[in-house]
């Protein structure tokens, strides 16, 4: 199926590793012009080399997505270099602090900032460019943790807020022909990621998690999530708006470490 993405300009935050990197590479394979940002210069440059092997139209910038000025610089620089913005993937996420009630107010706010507010400020910065297109699309990468309970509620609360954000913006931006959806990955295994470290350091716990909570006995891949994101960004998904799309293999619990477990 031709997704008709060739020539479109797509921006991906956190595009140097994991789901963000896989999404950027998949969009490049579809013929998109790509802009990515990441916090680390080395990983950003490595990803840019990979992308330029697929398309010459690639631009990148080191960016702290918790800094509004840096986010605006990334979006405006990408739009100037590549000719506007057709699609946006808000991919950065993570958690700060320990158990729910042990986490400080500052750690709760840092987690919300890294997830929810990063998406808000990136969409806000891209909105003038997205409005210029006949149709455009935004995907926020949330998580199954946004509705399946687990420890560290600050992360789940931030991911639930991203789901609500997309459903609200789908209505607010409909007059501008901008679709907004969330993709909610389950546990994804990729080199250098957290699950790869857990598999290495706690193979018995990892095996129990697969048996207990993953019907297929495996974690997902970053490519499997990237495929769904790419489809949602395309006009083939034109009647999907304000949706929350799980990509989790029917996963049960969102984490191998359950309440009260170390």
Q: What share of the chain is helix, strand, coil (3-state, %, to 5)?
A: 50, 15, 35
With beta carbons less than 8 A apart as the criterion, state whether 138 and 123 touch: yes
Tell me the three state secondary structure of residue 54.
coil
Helices 222-233/18-29 angle, 10° precision: 50
Reported as type and span, the H/E element at residue 201 is helix 194-201
- Residue 198 falls in the annotated catalytic set: no
Among 72, 77, 27, 71, CA closest to 47? 27
Rounded Cα gap, residues 242 and 262, in angstroms: 37
Residues paired with 178 in a beta bridge: 136
Count of residues in the chain: 262
Strands 9-13 and 58-62, sheet pairing: unpaired
β-strands 178-185, 136-141: how paired?
A: parallel
DSSP state of 191: T
Among residues 129, 155, 198, 206, the one annotated as catalytic is: 155
Residues identified as active-site: 155
């Amino acid at each position: 199926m031709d997704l008709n993405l060739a020539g479109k300009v797509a921006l991906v935050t956190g595009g140097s590793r994991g789901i963000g990197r896989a999404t950027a590479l998949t969009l490049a394979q579809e013929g998109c012009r790509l802009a990515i940002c990441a916090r680390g210069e080395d990983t950003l440059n490595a990803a840019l080399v990979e992308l330029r092997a697929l398309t010459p139209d690639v631009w990148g910038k080191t960016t702290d997505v918790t800094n509004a000025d840096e986010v605006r610089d990334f979006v405006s620089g990408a739009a100037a270099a590549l000719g506007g913005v057709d699609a946006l993937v808000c991919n950065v996420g993570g958690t700060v602090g320990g158990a729910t009630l042990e986490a400080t107010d500052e750690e709760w706010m840092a987690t919300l900032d890294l997830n929810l507010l990063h998406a808000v400020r990136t969409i806000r910065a891209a909105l003038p460019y997205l409005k210029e297109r006949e149709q455009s699309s935004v995907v926020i990468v949330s998580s199954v943790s946004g509705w399946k309970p687990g420890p560290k509620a600050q992360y789940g609360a931030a991911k639930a807020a991203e789901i609500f954000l997309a459903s609200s913006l789908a209505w607010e931006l409909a007059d501008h022909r901008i679709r907004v959806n969330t993709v909610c990955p389950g546990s994804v295994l990729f080199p250098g990621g957290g699950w790869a470290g857990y598999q290495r350091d706690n193979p018995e716990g990892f095996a129990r998690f697969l048996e207990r909570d993953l019907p297929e006995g495996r974690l997902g891949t970053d490519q499997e999530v990237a495929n769904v994101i790419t489809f949602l960004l395309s006009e083939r998904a034109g009647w999907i708006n304000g949706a929350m799309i799980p990509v989790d293999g029917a996963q049960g619990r969102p984490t191998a470490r359950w309440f009260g477990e170390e």
